[in-house]
Amino acid sequence: MGATIGAAIGMFAGTNVDDIIVLTVLFLTARTGGAPRARQIWAGQYAGVGVLVLVSVVAALGLTVVPDAWIGLLGLVPFALGVRGLVGALRAGDDDPPPVASGTAAVAAVTIANGADNIAVYTPVFRTVGPGATAVTVAVFAAGVALWCLAGSWLGSHKKVIEVVERYGRWLVPCVFMAIGTVIVTGSGVLSRL
């Protein structure tokens, strides 16, 4: 059991390091713009990771939900959210622009889109371990999501960071989402398949 927990911790941390950045940006946006709310970020993160685990389990059972060759297209979700936020910022002028991710579903979508690497790592693991080890791994992931949300909230609560986001956030947050989407799409190699 100890080895399973250790492996699950390493697997979660390794595949979700980039989520710390996303969560920090989301919590900063919540503090400076009011949306999404903290509970929506938590719920969206849990929903997104839940979908990634479910897809990985289904894929491990031999059912391919999204062919591996095309999974990188999920990067278009955060990219599109970033474009929408940038357009909203341009239209708003001096007014407050609409948030990039404004609810639980948008947070979940960003988490899922950012999780192509999660599926690639989780699927073979779930294929090789038994149901008991899978249940322990999922429990560790649930605890990991809570830890990640707490870390993102903490990082997003520093005064200097909040000041920067209040000043440049209308442009910075959409650009971060567009960069995340670009990295997912280009890093997956899906462009060469189009």
Distance CA 80, CA 94 (A): 23
- The alpha-helical segments, DSSP class H, found in the chain are 2-33, 38-60, 76-92, 104-113, 116-128, 131-155, 159-188
Helix axes 76-92, 104-113, angle to 10 degrees: 130
With contact defined as beta carbons under 8 Å apart, do 75 and 188 qualify? yes
pLDDT 10s digits, 41-96:
999 999 999 999 999 888 878 755 556 667 667 677 778 877 887 888 788 765 55
Each residue's pLDDT tens digit, 173-191: 678 778 867 877 887 777 7
The C-alpha atoms of residue 59 and residue 82 are separated, in whole angstroms, by 30
What is the value of pTM for the model shown?
0.70
Residues 6+ away with beta carbon under 8 Å from 138: 53
